[in-house]
Amino acid sequence: MSVISLCHAGQAAAPGRALRVYRTLNTVMLAMLLLAPGWAGAETHTNLQAVTATGTSAWSGTHPFTLRGVLLCNPDDMLDPTPNYLPYNDGENLGRMGGQWQIAFQAVEPGDRGGTFCWMGQNYGNLSWIRNSDLSYTNEAWTAEILRLSFDPATMRPFRAGDLIEVTARRSLFFGGKRNINEAHGIDPTNNFEIRLLVAGYGLPAPEVITLADVKRADNTDIFDPTRASGGEYYQGMRVRINNLTLLTTNGWNPTNAWGNRLCTATDGTGRTFPLRHPRYSLGPPPSGSFDAIGIFNQESGSGIQGTNGYELFVQQVIPRDPPHLSIAARAAISWPTNGATYVLEYANEPGSTNWSVLTNAPVTIEGRNTVLDDLTVPQRYYRLRRTN
């Protein structure tokens, strides 16, 4: 999206003006989209993710519906979509899903809050309650589905984090503590969900800054609030920044691991711990000191009948709280023209010093200039040329 200037001719934009204009234009554009005709069956993230006292879905809406929000990740950041058809074969591949695809997008409309995940898998036929290879995608059919969901159908532009999108859902299921838009484990095209690009590069929402005390009790149990006004439910599906963490385990700090093996445990030093899930791209080596983590607040209770625990952070960025200090080189090179009068190179270790010493290192000629190399034994040094004739 282009940023335009709202200044009068000859008037320079004040610092930060362009950013404010950008946000204003996004707000106006969003309002125009919300008022556009044809948005029948519109749903909100708040309604869709409503839960009961046991953390199961309390949503009472109907399909199909449309849901809008900002895409928080690229389509291949979370799960590996590589085609991998695995026939059921009398239970040989029971539970093996092969290729998988998942995104998360966050509410942008006034009064709405939270976010929703969209998921699909290749080998539904290997699920224990299905056990039928005919109900899995072949590699060719799976590839077509991934292309359909990873590119805007009108422009063929690939979806990217920060895009404003609209999802049309014909099926959705509760699992792991949240209601997911999916295909209800069926390959029939009537189960398809679809994604439409509304604004390319709309912009990621600023992460909400939290600490582990906002989502974990002092006894290290998850804070579950069925009203979704506090605890993990308040942040589920949203972009957050968790401050002041250190890693307790690092085995899962690996982008090549499978989803279930990309988990590490972090702590804030108060007895609270929290799971961090690594993305499929490199975040660099595991942080050795204190850091803040920015990512998508997720829930994976592992159950279809309860959702009061299992909160975690899908990490997208790591910010060290004690970054490494920059150091100067151990050797300095000082040079000046060889032509003209004779000079002596002198040095001092303090600015404005009256105590200058002659640097006795002999100069060498490099490309017509006198150059002296000085091995530094102090953090800083000042030099001057003193004319001798």
Number of helices (H), then strands (E), in the chain: 4, 19
Domain ranges of the chain: 1-36, 40-199, 208-320, 331-387
Please tell me the distance from the alpha carbon of residue 389 to that of residue 380, in angstroms, as a whole number. Answer: 29
Please tell me the distance from the alpha carbon of residue 373 to that of residue 383, in angstroms, as a whole number. Answer: 12
Please tell me the distance from the alpha carbon of residue 78 to that of residue 274, in angstroms, as a whole number. Answer: 19
Residues of the chain short of pLDDT 70, as ranges, are 1-40, 323-330, 339-341, 377-379
Q: Which two three-digit tokens encode residue 60?
A: 């009472």
Please tell me the distance from the alpha carbon of residue 189 to that of residue 171, in angstroms, as a whole number. Answer: 11
Residue 61's beta-bridge partner residues? Answer: none
Q: Report which DSSP code applies to 191.
A: G
- Count how many residues are written for the chain: 389
Please give the span between the terminal C-alpha atoms of the chain, in angstroms, as a whole number. Answer: 64
Strands lying side by side in the sheet with 357-358 = 357-358, 343-348, 382-387
pTM as predicted: 0.76
Q: What is the topology classification, in CATH, of domain 40-199? A: OB fold (Dihydrolipoamide Acetyltransferase, E2P) (2.40.50)
Which pLDDT value is given to residue 369? Answer: 80
Is-same-fold flag (40-199; 208-320)? yes
Tens of pLDDT, residue by residue over 65-97, are 999 999 999 999 999 999 999 999 999 999 999
Which pLDDT value is given to residue 89? Answer: 94
Which pLDDT value is given to residue 225? Answer: 98
Contacts of 163 (CB under 8 A, 6+ apart): 70, 71, 197, 198, 199, 200, 201, 202
Please tell me the distance from the alpha carbon of residue 136 to that of residue 98, in angstroms, as a whole number. Answer: 10
Tens of pLDDT, residue by residue over 199-216, are 999 999 999 999 999 999
CB 285 within 8 A of CB 247: no
Give me the torsion for CA of 9, 14, 15, 18, rounded to 10°. -50
Q: Considering all CA atoms of the chain, what is the largest pairwise distance in Å, rounded to the nearest integer?
A: 98
Q: What is the topology classification, in CATH, of domain 208-320? A: OB fold (Dihydrolipoamide Acetyltransferase, E2P) (2.40.50)
